[in-house]
Amino acid sequence: MEDWAVRAEGLEKRYGEKRALDGFDLAVRPGTVHGLLGPNGAGKTTAVRVLATLRRLDGGRAEVAGVDVAREPRRVRGLIGLTGQYAAVDEILTGRQNLEMFGRLFHLGGRRARSRAAELLERFGLAEAADKGVDGYSGGMRRRLDLAASMILAPRVLFLDEPTTGLDPRGRGEVWDAVRHLVAGGTTVLLTTQYLEEADKLASRITVIDRGRAIADDTPEALKDRVGGDRVEVVAAHAVDLPRVAATVARVCLGEPRVDEAERRVHAPVADRVVALTEVARTLQDEGVAVEDIGLRRPSLDDVFLRLTGHATEERAGEDTGREEEHEKKVVAA
């Protein structure tokens, strides 16, 4: 397992009769963002908690940064950072005070804790707000502060469990930039998320988990290729023209086109995307068929997720409270 930042083989975790993990396998390369995707109850958070030594595994084997999580949990805790679904920061304190507090929890001396806090506030773009109360921070700022707290000891592996839950687009973008900065500095990130756009933008490799098992593991592009290649998609302006649109698409594209009468949409896979699009557009124009929209479409991770799991993603209604997340961060620090 020495070539992997995180390696899990046959992980099992049971809660009574429920198998949260049922032979789960995972391999994460150093210095990358690895996405862990799955529907509610698939086992994502359980996997992170087992790997972060917050839950004992019932079977299988796992190593983080080359250290066995079952045999040497305390040593693993010194090598990792953890950020959960809710920002585990104290709103009464300032941003600087929060980081200095976590520095003390990680057993840094006072001087080193202050120095490290200043470094992280600068790195995460929080220096100007360092001495303001966290209760006045935006959602994105709180998440960046939470990430900074997880980086007190510059961990080799950082676990991010749905880090942008509840953030607006601007806040999510701020967190994404912070994650990219961490990876550029050599940190390995295991990211669990239900925002497929997030995984697509950040992860170089993705594992899809369902019912406690890994059901797919590949790059985002390779996963999309499983669904099919590029497709030409035409939205007819009038429902009466759907047969003519479908006939045109069928002549140019591969296979039988799919027709959605409710949305007046016709699409089919293509071999040569530019040639196919040009030919369909020219033919429809020559025949005087009005279209509302026409273009090329790549399969999305939503398509992949639907194909692999049989259902679309859902927004997670968090099972844990912010207080529990804060407790877990402090457990890792201890």
Residue by residue, DSSP assigns 125-170 as: T-GGGTTSBGGGS-HHHHHHHHHHHHTTT--SEEEEESTTTT--HH
Q: Report the greatest alpha carbon distance in the chain.
A: 78
- Lowest-confidence region among 1-10, 106-115, 161-170: 161-170
Domain boundaries, the chain: 6-224+312-333, 230-297
pTM of the model: 0.74
Q: State the pLDDT at residue 207.
A: 95
pLDDT band at residue 229 using 50, 70 and 90 as cut-offs: confident
- Lowest-confidence region among 120-129, 161-170, 215-224: 161-170
SS3 category, 187: coil
pLDDT band at residue 332 using 50, 70 and 90 as cut-offs: low
296-320 pLDDT tens trace: 887 777 777 777 776 655 533 334 4
Structural contact between residues 106 and 333, judged by C-beta atoms closer than 8 angstroms? yes
Fold of 6-224+312-333: Rossmann fold (3.40.50)
For 230-297, CATH number out of 3.30.70.100, 3.40.50.720, 1.10.1030.10, 2.50.20.10 equals: 3.30.70.100
Closest CA to 209 of 64, 22, 18: 22
271-281 pLDDT tens trace: 888 899 999 99
What is the helix (H) or strand (E) element at residue 31, kind and residue range? none
d(CA 152, CA 150) in angstroms, rounded, equals 6
Average pLDDT, the chain: 86
Residue 161 predicted with pLDDT over 90: no
Q: State the pLDDT at residue 328.
A: 56
- Lowest-confidence region among 85-94, 103-112, 298-307: 298-307
Q: State the pLDDT at residue 329.
A: 54
